[in-house]
Amino acid sequence: MPHSKPSGRHFLQIPGPSNVPDRILRAMDFPTIDHRGPEFAELGKKCLSGLQEVFKTRAHVIIYPASGTGAWEAALVNTLSAGDTVLMIETGHFASLWYKLAARLGVHTELLKTDWRRGADPQAIEARLAADKEGKIKAVCVVHNETSTGAMSRISDIRAAIDAAQHDALLMVDTISSLGSSDYCHDAWGVDVTVAGSQKGLMLPPGLSFNAVSEKARQAAKNADLPRSYWDWEDQLAANSSGAFPYTPATNLLYGLSEAIDMLLEEGLENVFARHKRHAQATRIAVQAWGLEVLCQEPLDFSNTLTAVLLPDGHNADAFRSTVLKNFNMSLGNGLSHLAGKVFRIGHLGDFNDLMMIGTLGGVEMGLALSDVPHQSGGTDAAMQFLKNNLT
């Protein structure tokens, strides 16, 4: 008998790409227009100015037709020279990937390791920078929200640590899984380069990435000698002044980006952040009621966009995820690197509401029972009570 297609909607509960709302899909469903014409120029200007509101910045925001990895590279090649030292904070899998990318570019990468169960430690950063009497470290690179672990770093505290060390290093921050979902202040937090992507809090398909660039970073770029062409900020900014791009842009994704910005600003960014925080709290309440363990151990560092859950020894998280997908048509995030098979990740970000939250947790709870994972029942009900008692 042929395999039948499951009925109903698929629950895409990985921590990104997130669900793309119908409103954005419809916005992208238009004929491609002339990317050198006046209609496109208006679209480009709207997207560029709207992103400044989302990043909470007056600085320039640059849009690349690329994944977040491209924006990582752009941040580095525009500001650094061969042999420069960069302090990378290893909070998880994606921080490790950024570290490896920097090393391939010819940058000297120094790694501050963690146990992957909390965000970056501002005191450790301050101590390392204070010891760098010769100012060899040119940049500090931090992932704001580590997608592999569900731990969020406190960027304002890291800025304060850099200042306390009286160090001139650039601060570069990856917000790929936090922008548009958790509060982020490029200007107020003194960030020099912010990296972001389209496929998570911005609710778009993958394909766009971003750099928000401080004036200090632009000045650093004047003396940086790492090779750059496609990623060059100044080429982008020269074209952006008229709403254009130096090469063919991802036109229809920009239609979607314009709509996504409208949706975020219509709801109100602070309301968006409160909604994500509430769903994260509900998820952790469910995990606690099940008697399972949230991977992130520091409450100050809990992520608002995803929760990574440890399974008990002897139980494989990938087998559990397969059971959930097969029986309930729901995708959960897998464990990465040394967390493979040990954790599953629940994404609760983007275009998401209370009923989707309860459906997600219900699928997890039924999956735990079908997989014979030791747990207490009632986690979904506990989350439901929390949501009901904390209506927005």
Q: What is the pLDDT of residue 4?
A: 72
Contact 214, 169 (CB under 8 A): no
- Measured between alpha carbons, how far is 287 from 295 in angstroms, rounded to an integer? 11
- Lowest-pLDDT range of 4-13, 135-144, 150-159, 376-385: 4-13
Instruction: Give the per-residue SS3 of 59-101.
Output: CEEEEECCCHHHHHHHHHHCCCCCCCEEEEEECCHHHHHHHHH
pLDDT in tens, 104-160: 999 999 999 999 999 999 999 999 999 999 999 999 999 999 999 999 999 999 999
Token code pair at residue 49? 């100015």
* Angle, CA of 379, 200 and 91, to the nearest 5°: 75
Q: What is the pLDDT of residue 123?
A: 97
- Measured between alpha carbons, how far is 224 from 243 in angstroms, rounded to an integer? 26
- The DSSP annotation for 107-176 comes to -EEEEEE--SSS---HHHHHHHHHH-TT--EEEEEEESEETTTTEE--HHHHHHHHHHTT---EEEEE-T
- Lowest-pLDDT range of 1-5, 44-48, 68-72: 1-5
Report the Cα 259 to chain-centroid distance in Å.
Answer: 19
H/E stretch holding 263: helix 251-267
Contact 118, 95 (CB under 8 A): no
CATH 3.90.1150.10 boundaries in the chain: 11-18+269-389
pLDDT in tens, 63-105: 999 999 999 999 999 999 999 999 999 999 999 999 999 999 9
What is the pLDDT confidence band of residue 1, given thresholds at 50, 70 and 90? very low
Q: What is the pLDDT of residue 3?
A: 61
Q: What is the pTM of this model?
A: 0.96
By DSSP bridging, strand 293-294 and strand 306-310 are antiparallel
CATH fold, domain 22-265, is: Aspartate Aminotransferase; domain 2 (3.40.640)
CATH 3.40.640.10 boundaries in the chain: 22-265
Q: What's the first-to-final CA gap in the chain, in angstroms?
A: 47
Residue 117 CB partners (closer than 8 Å, separation 6+): 149, 151, 295, 296, 297, 298
CATH number for the segment(s) 11-18+269-389: 3.90.1150.10
